[in-house]
Structure 1
Amino acid sequence: MAIGVASVMLVAVGGALGGMGRLFVSRWAAARLGTDFPWGTLIVNLAGAFLIGWLAVSLTVGAGLSLWLMTGILGGFTTVSSFSLQTLDLMRERRWMAASANVCLTLVLGIAAAALGVELGR
């Protein structure tokens, strides 16, 4: 299946906006919560999980808006790559409890946030 230029542009613009949002939230979290734990990444991933769950059941518009919001904005906002690197850094520093907490909080609370979003979106 071919991907149209309009679809690519929607995802690109959404991804740029989502990435800027992630930068803002990460810097805000670091300034207020410190840098000993990747709070910003946890916050964006939990917020993104909630929002994608909510949008998945409540969004009743065309595929273009879905691409822009879910693939573009939320894809640029959330980040498994930063989560992975930050967890690896905690492990390299032998901060096993912090690394384990990051994995558990991200996965368990992320699934819970998506489920909450689905329930609230119904």
Structure 2
Amino acid sequence: MNWLPVALGAMVGAPLRYLTDRAVQSRHDSLFPWGTFVVNVTGCLVLGLLTGAPAADPHLRLLLGTGLCGALTTYSTFSYETLRLTETGAGLYAAANAVASVAAGLGAAFAGVSLAQAVWA
């Protein structure tokens, strides 16, 4: 019955992604896709925390890691928004989005692992 925690996490993650994206983007008058950036970096942090927590319950990993983060984060939207920026002549924003998303995502994942290891060590 491993699909149940995944489904429950996804039921929270998908609307959370949409609502967070809209809330963040509405506060910025910019071409940069801040909403997608925030949900993706947040998902990386949560996955880092789960990865660094050695005693995390497998069902919690399915609920939060696969379900919540799987529905919260969005590589396809990141790719689409980067492509649209390029197509509309905002190549600098597209490059900044690609570089910042990868750097911030990796940084958040590493920070999450470090934080979890410090707490549970």
User: Do Structure 1 and Structure 2 share a fold, with TM-score over 0.5?
Assistant: yes
**What residue number does 1:47 align with?**
42
SS in 2 for 1:33: coil
Stretches of structure 2 that go unaligned for 5 or more consecutive residues are none
**What residue number does 1:8 align with?**
3
User: Counterpart amino acid of 1:44?
Assistant: V
Could you tell me how far 1:7 is from its partner in structure 2?
1.4
Q: TM-score if structure 2 supplies the norm length?
A: 0.91
8 Å Cα contact 2:50-2:56 kept in structure 1 = no
Which stretch of the first structure deviates more once superposed, 47-56 or 98-107? 47-56
User: Counterpart amino acid of 1:25?
Assistant: T
Q: RMSD in angstroms over aligned alpha carbons? A: 1.2
**What residue number does 1:96 align with?**
91
Partners of 1:118 and 1:63 in 2: CA distance: 17
**What residue number does 1:64 align with?**
59
Partners of 2:12 and 2:54 in 1: CA distance: 19
Residue 31 of structure 2 corresponds to residue 36 of structure 1: yes
SS in 1 for 2:27: helix
8 Å Cα contact 1:59-1:66 kept in structure 2 = no
User: Counterpart amino acid of 1:32?
Assistant: R
Q: Deviations over 1:103-122 (max 9, x none)?
A: 00100111011111111111
Q: Deviations over 1:36-95 (max 9, x none)?
A: 211000001111111110111125233212111100001111110100100010011121
8 Å Cα contact 1:15-1:76 kept in structure 2 = yes
Could you tell me how far 1:33 is from its partner in structure 2?
1.3
Could you tell me how far 1:100 is from its partner in structure 2?
0.1
Deviation beyond 3 Å, 4+ runs, structure 1? none
How many residues in Structure 1 have an aligned counterpart in Structure 2? 117
Residue 106 of structure 2 corresponds to residue 111 of structure 1: yes
SS in 1 for 2:18: helix
**What residue number does 1:86 align with?**
81
8 Å Cα contact 2:37-2:101 kept in structure 1 = yes
